Amino acid sequence: MKTKQMAYDAILTAMCAVLGLVSLDFGNLKITFEDLPILLGAALFGPWDGMIIGVLGTSVYQMLRFGADPTLPLWVIPLMMGGIVAGLLARRSNYSLEGKNPWITMIGAELVITTLNTVSLIIYSNIYGFYTPAYILAPLLPRFLIAIAKGSVYANVMPPVIRAIRKTLNISMKKTA
């Protein structure tokens, strides 16, 4: 792994942790942008970087906000998988930012994250008995609409940001992982 890439991963990991702490929380519906640096790293460097940023950034955020808890993996896995999926989709398109590629990558990753977060919430509620099925299922449609909206915004914002980062870091479009 290149030094620039490792440094950038560290910056994105820190951004993930900070953005996780800054969220809009409506009880059973939470809107956060901690996935932005994960998806950015995955789109730039590939699935392994997306995974690393997701695992480390989310772990730091979760431990700062909730402490060390046996259910920590439940909340890390969705963002880790979102980073992997975004990286695989980006690699499949040869890290191209043209046409439908950013849309498929960002919306696809957001839907994976939202689906796995919902599964995590169900598992968590069964372990601790905090939530009722209605509490979990009532915001399901808004959760997926928010995921699609966030993915759409990211698909519009990411291409110029990634082009600028690639230019600054001298990263070519074609990357081998």
135-157 pLDDT per residue, tens: 888 889 999 999 999 999 999 99
Chain centroid offset of residue 132 CA? 26
Task: Let me know if residue 176 belongs to a domain.
Answer: no
Closest CA to 175 of 85, 98, 92, 104: 92
Domain that holds residue 35: 3-169
pLDDT tens-digit series, residues 62-108 = 999 988 889 999 999 999 999 999 999 999 988 887 889 999 999 99
Give the DSSP letter of residue 164: H
Task: Let me know if residue 101 belongs to a domain.
Answer: yes
> Which amino acid is located at 147 in the chain?
A
pTM of the model: 0.90
Task: Let me know if residue 32 belongs to a domain.
Answer: yes
Task: Let me know if residue 11 belongs to a domain.
Answer: yes
CATH of the domain at 104: 1.10.1760.20
Least confident of 104-108, 127-131, 173-177: 173-177
List phi, psi (to 5°) of 135: -65, -35
Q: What's the structural domain count of the chain?
A: 1
Integer Cα distance of 101 and 155 in angstroms: 9
> Which amino acid is located at 158 in the chain?
M
